[in-house]
Copies of this chain bind each other. A is one copy, B any other.
């Protein structure tokens, strides 16, 4: 027993829901971006983002609770609280940049104001990319969803096309989504 329930939900086992639990809420990413931009204090976030006080308070508490920001009293002015990115928070940079780049690509062609550059040559960074284990850049066409127990399996090619029905097949043809673009 227990096999019958949640039939398609097998597909759901990935980190996305957990990521969205925190970052899926309305202002979380904007606060994160402000944090990357060097803002640390409540009133700074408030005036930068134009968010309501109570919501900001709530979001900051949640981000702290989830270990994305850390909250510590300011040494020199004990009214102030410093909110700073933790390592866990900083690790959201690729996700934030990928979103930002996507928004930039498809949004109103307004030029982004603080441009991210490589400190080495001060040239704008390239696109956030999906890399293979050996560093090759992968596109949608290069990818497959496979069941964990099938990793590394050499396929004889025939199952490549037999992937329409989810939940039973070993492999899901991601390229199918691309063909229709």
Contacts and interface: CB of A to CB of B under 8 A. Distances in A.
Contacts of A181: 85-87, 90
B103 A14 contact: yes
A98 B14 contact: no
B152 A103 contact: no
A119 B129 CA distance: 16
Given A24-B26, A117-B143, A102 B95 contact: yes
Given A112-B148, A133-B118, A29 B38 contact: no
Interface residues of A, number: 109
- Total copies of this chain within the assembly: 2
A73 interface: no
Contact of A24 (B29, B106, B180): B29
Contact of A100 (B15, B105, B153): B15
Interface of A: 7-20, 23-24, 26, 29-30, 33-39, 44, 47-48, 50, 67, 70, 84-88, 90-108, 110-133, 135-138, 140, 142-148, 150-155, 163-164, 166, 172-174, 176-178, 180-181
